[in-house]
Structure 1
Protein backbone atom coordinates (compact mmCIF):
# COMPACT_ATOMS: atom_id res chain seq x y z
CA UNK A 1 0.00 0.00 0.00
CA UNK A 2 1.32 3.44 -0.85
CA UNK A 3 1.71 6.12 1.75
CA UNK A 4 -0.04 9.47 1.30
CA UNK A 5 2.17 12.42 0.51
CA UNK A 6 2.82 14.44 3.65
CA UNK A 7 1.45 17.96 3.64
CA UNK A 8 3.86 20.85 3.52
CA UNK A 9 3.29 23.60 6.04
CA UNK A 10 4.90 26.94 5.35
CA UNK A 11 6.27 29.05 8.17
CA UNK A 12 3.73 31.67 9.29
CA UNK A 13 3.87 34.75 7.10
CA UNK A 14 5.81 37.59 8.65
CA UNK A 15 5.30 39.85 5.60
CA UNK A 16 2.69 38.42 3.23
CA UNK A 17 2.97 41.46 0.96
CA UNK A 18 6.69 40.89 0.49
CA UNK A 19 6.07 37.18 -0.17
CA UNK A 20 3.44 38.11 -2.74
CA UNK A 21 5.79 40.55 -4.49
CA UNK A 22 8.47 37.85 -4.66
CA UNK A 23 5.94 35.35 -6.01
CA UNK A 24 4.65 37.77 -8.64
CA UNK A 25 8.16 38.48 -9.90
CA UNK A 26 9.27 34.84 -9.81
CA UNK A 27 6.11 33.59 -11.49
CA UNK A 28 6.35 36.12 -14.30
CA UNK A 29 9.96 35.09 -14.96
CA UNK A 30 8.86 31.44 -14.98
CA UNK A 31 5.95 32.15 -17.35
CA UNK A 32 8.19 34.11 -19.73
CA UNK A 33 10.82 31.34 -19.76
CA UNK A 34 8.38 28.45 -19.99
CA UNK A 35 6.94 29.38 -23.37
CA UNK A 36 7.29 32.90 -24.72
CA UNK A 37 7.13 36.30 -23.06
CA UNK A 38 3.59 37.66 -23.40
CA UNK A 39 2.02 40.74 -21.87
CA UNK A 40 -0.71 38.55 -20.33
CA UNK A 41 1.96 36.87 -18.18
CA UNK A 42 2.19 39.98 -16.05
CA UNK A 43 -1.56 39.90 -15.40
CA UNK A 44 -1.47 36.19 -14.59
CA UNK A 45 1.42 36.61 -12.15
CA UNK A 46 -0.24 39.60 -10.52
CA UNK A 47 -3.54 37.75 -10.01
CA UNK A 48 -1.90 34.60 -8.64
CA UNK A 49 0.19 36.71 -6.26
CA UNK A 50 -2.94 38.56 -5.06
CA UNK A 51 -4.65 35.27 -4.26
CA UNK A 52 -1.55 33.93 -2.52
CA UNK A 53 -1.04 37.12 -0.49
CA UNK A 54 -4.66 37.23 0.66
CA UNK A 55 -4.58 33.57 1.67
CA UNK A 56 -1.36 34.09 3.64
CA UNK A 57 -2.78 37.19 5.34
CA UNK A 58 -5.78 35.08 6.36
CA UNK A 59 -3.39 32.65 8.03
CA UNK A 60 -3.17 29.88 5.45
CA UNK A 61 0.12 27.99 5.80
CA UNK A 62 -0.70 24.68 4.11
CA UNK A 63 0.83 24.58 0.62
CA UNK A 64 -1.84 22.21 -0.69
CA UNK A 65 -4.60 24.54 0.44
CA UNK A 66 -2.82 27.49 -1.18
CA UNK A 67 -2.59 25.57 -4.45
CA UNK A 68 -6.30 24.67 -4.34
CA UNK A 69 -7.20 28.31 -3.64
CA UNK A 70 -5.16 29.45 -6.64
CA UNK A 71 -6.71 26.82 -8.93
CA UNK A 72 -10.21 27.71 -7.75
CA UNK A 73 -9.87 31.48 -7.98
CA UNK A 74 -7.87 31.46 -11.22
CA UNK A 75 -10.79 29.68 -12.93
CA UNK A 76 -12.40 33.11 -13.19
CA UNK A 77 -9.32 34.51 -14.97
CA UNK A 78 -9.55 34.84 -18.76
CA UNK A 79 -6.72 32.67 -20.11
CA UNK A 80 -7.88 33.14 -23.71
CA UNK A 81 -4.74 35.12 -24.63
CA UNK A 82 -2.41 32.65 -22.91
CA UNK A 83 -1.07 29.16 -23.42
CA UNK A 84 -1.41 28.55 -19.68
CA UNK A 85 -4.35 27.62 -17.45
CA UNK A 86 -5.19 27.65 -13.75
CA UNK A 87 -3.65 24.24 -13.02
CA UNK A 88 -0.36 25.16 -14.66
CA UNK A 89 -0.23 28.39 -12.67
CA UNK A 90 -1.02 26.71 -9.34
CA UNK A 91 1.57 24.00 -9.98
CA UNK A 92 4.17 26.60 -10.92
CA UNK A 93 3.45 28.53 -7.72
CA UNK A 94 3.91 25.33 -5.73
CA UNK A 95 7.18 24.53 -7.49
CA UNK A 96 8.53 28.05 -6.93
CA UNK A 97 7.67 27.96 -3.24
CA UNK A 98 9.18 24.50 -2.77
CA UNK A 99 12.33 25.61 -4.56
CA UNK A 100 12.57 28.72 -2.36
CA UNK A 101 12.37 26.46 0.71
CA UNK A 102 15.07 24.15 -0.63
CA UNK A 103 12.66 21.22 -1.04
CA UNK A 104 13.33 18.91 -3.97
CA UNK A 105 10.05 18.71 -5.87
CA UNK A 106 11.20 16.37 -8.61
CA UNK A 107 9.82 12.86 -8.75
CA UNK A 108 11.99 10.34 -6.98
CA UNK A 109 14.70 12.93 -6.28
CA UNK A 110 15.91 12.93 -9.91
Structure 2
Protein backbone atom coordinates (compact mmCIF):
# COMPACT_ATOMS: atom_id res chain seq x y z
CA UNK A 1 0.00 0.00 0.00
CA UNK A 2 1.29 3.46 -0.80
CA UNK A 3 1.84 6.00 1.94
CA UNK A 4 0.48 9.53 1.72
CA UNK A 5 3.02 12.30 1.29
CA UNK A 6 3.38 14.15 4.58
CA UNK A 7 2.52 17.85 4.52
CA UNK A 8 5.33 20.37 4.35
CA UNK A 9 5.03 23.13 6.90
CA UNK A 10 6.98 26.36 6.59
CA UNK A 11 8.38 27.90 9.75
CA UNK A 12 6.16 30.66 11.14
CA UNK A 13 6.78 33.92 9.33
CA UNK A 14 8.77 36.50 11.23
CA UNK A 15 8.66 39.01 8.38
CA UNK A 16 6.09 38.32 5.64
CA UNK A 17 7.06 41.48 3.74
CA UNK A 18 10.68 40.37 3.49
CA UNK A 19 9.55 36.88 2.44
CA UNK A 20 7.33 38.44 -0.21
CA UNK A 21 10.16 40.57 -1.58
CA UNK A 22 12.41 37.51 -1.72
CA UNK A 23 9.74 35.48 -3.49
CA UNK A 24 8.98 38.23 -5.99
CA UNK A 25 12.67 38.55 -6.96
CA UNK A 26 13.23 34.80 -7.19
CA UNK A 27 10.01 34.17 -9.12
CA UNK A 28 10.81 36.95 -11.58
CA UNK A 29 14.25 35.47 -12.15
CA UNK A 30 12.68 32.05 -12.73
CA UNK A 31 10.07 33.47 -15.12
CA UNK A 32 12.68 35.38 -17.11
CA UNK A 33 15.05 32.43 -17.44
CA UNK A 34 12.52 29.66 -18.01
CA UNK A 35 11.38 31.06 -21.38
CA UNK A 36 12.08 34.66 -22.33
CA UNK A 37 11.99 37.88 -20.32
CA UNK A 38 8.61 39.57 -20.72
CA UNK A 39 7.22 42.72 -19.13
CA UNK A 40 4.21 40.79 -17.85
CA UNK A 41 6.55 38.60 -15.77
CA UNK A 42 7.01 41.49 -13.34
CA UNK A 43 3.25 41.71 -12.80
CA UNK A 44 2.96 37.95 -12.39
CA UNK A 45 5.75 37.84 -9.80
CA UNK A 46 4.30 40.82 -7.97
CA UNK A 47 0.79 39.33 -7.82
CA UNK A 48 1.99 35.90 -6.69
CA UNK A 49 4.14 37.52 -3.98
CA UNK A 50 1.15 39.59 -2.78
CA UNK A 51 -0.97 36.46 -2.45
CA UNK A 52 1.83 34.66 -0.66
CA UNK A 53 2.45 37.55 1.76
CA UNK A 54 -1.22 37.89 2.63
CA UNK A 55 -1.53 34.17 3.28
CA UNK A 56 1.56 34.23 5.50
CA UNK A 57 0.27 37.30 7.39
CA UNK A 58 -2.91 35.36 8.04
CA UNK A 59 -0.83 32.58 9.59
CA UNK A 60 -0.79 30.05 6.76
CA UNK A 61 2.28 27.81 7.01
CA UNK A 62 1.17 24.74 5.04
CA UNK A 63 2.88 24.66 1.64
CA UNK A 64 -0.01 22.81 0.00
CA UNK A 65 -2.52 25.41 1.18
CA UNK A 66 -0.28 28.23 -0.03
CA UNK A 67 -0.01 26.63 -3.47
CA UNK A 68 -3.78 26.17 -3.70
CA UNK A 69 -4.36 29.80 -2.68
CA UNK A 70 -2.00 30.97 -5.42
CA UNK A 71 -3.72 28.78 -8.04
CA UNK A 72 -7.17 30.02 -7.06
CA UNK A 73 -6.31 33.70 -6.84
CA UNK A 74 -4.10 33.73 -9.95
CA UNK A 75 -7.06 32.45 -11.99
CA UNK A 76 -8.26 36.06 -12.06
CA UNK A 77 -4.93 37.21 -13.56
CA UNK A 78 -4.82 37.88 -17.31
CA UNK A 79 -2.20 35.45 -18.65
CA UNK A 80 -3.01 36.23 -22.30
CA UNK A 81 0.37 37.98 -22.78
CA UNK A 82 2.37 35.24 -21.11
CA UNK A 83 3.58 31.70 -21.70
CA UNK A 84 2.52 30.86 -18.15
CA UNK A 85 -0.67 30.07 -16.28
CA UNK A 86 -1.74 29.86 -12.65
CA UNK A 87 -0.60 26.25 -12.19
CA UNK A 88 2.89 26.93 -13.54
CA UNK A 89 3.22 29.90 -11.20
CA UNK A 90 2.00 28.01 -8.14
CA UNK A 91 4.33 25.10 -8.93
CA UNK A 92 7.27 27.47 -9.40
CA UNK A 93 6.52 29.11 -6.03
CA UNK A 94 6.41 25.67 -4.43
CA UNK A 95 9.74 24.70 -5.99
CA UNK A 96 11.38 27.95 -4.88
CA UNK A 97 10.12 27.51 -1.32
CA UNK A 98 11.24 23.87 -1.19
CA UNK A 99 14.65 24.88 -2.48
CA UNK A 100 14.91 27.59 0.19
CA UNK A 101 14.17 24.97 2.86
CA UNK A 102 16.80 22.61 1.45
CA UNK A 103 14.20 20.03 0.42
CA UNK A 104 14.88 18.11 -2.81
CA UNK A 105 11.77 18.45 -4.96
CA UNK A 106 12.72 15.58 -7.26
CA UNK A 107 11.05 12.21 -7.13
CA UNK A 108 9.01 12.88 -3.98
CA UNK A 109 12.05 12.91 -1.71
Q: TM-score range by the shorter chain?
A: over 0.9
Deviation of the 1:108 alpha carbon:
5.4
Number of equivalences: 109
Closer/same/farther in 2, CA of residues 108 and 56 from structure 1, 3 Å limit: closer
The runs of 4+ residues in structure 1 deviating greater than 4 Å are: none
For 1:43, the equivalent position in structure 2 comes to: 43
For 1:105, the equivalent position in structure 2 comes to: 105
TM-score by length of 2: 0.98
Superposed counterparts of 1:1-110, under 5 Å: 1-107=1-107
Distance 1:87 1:2 in 2: 26
C-alpha RMSD of matched pairs (Å): 0.8
Deviation of the 1:107 alpha carbon:
1.1
Runs of 5+ unmatched residues, structure 2: none
TM-score by length of 1: 0.97
Runs of 5+ unmatched residues, structure 1: none
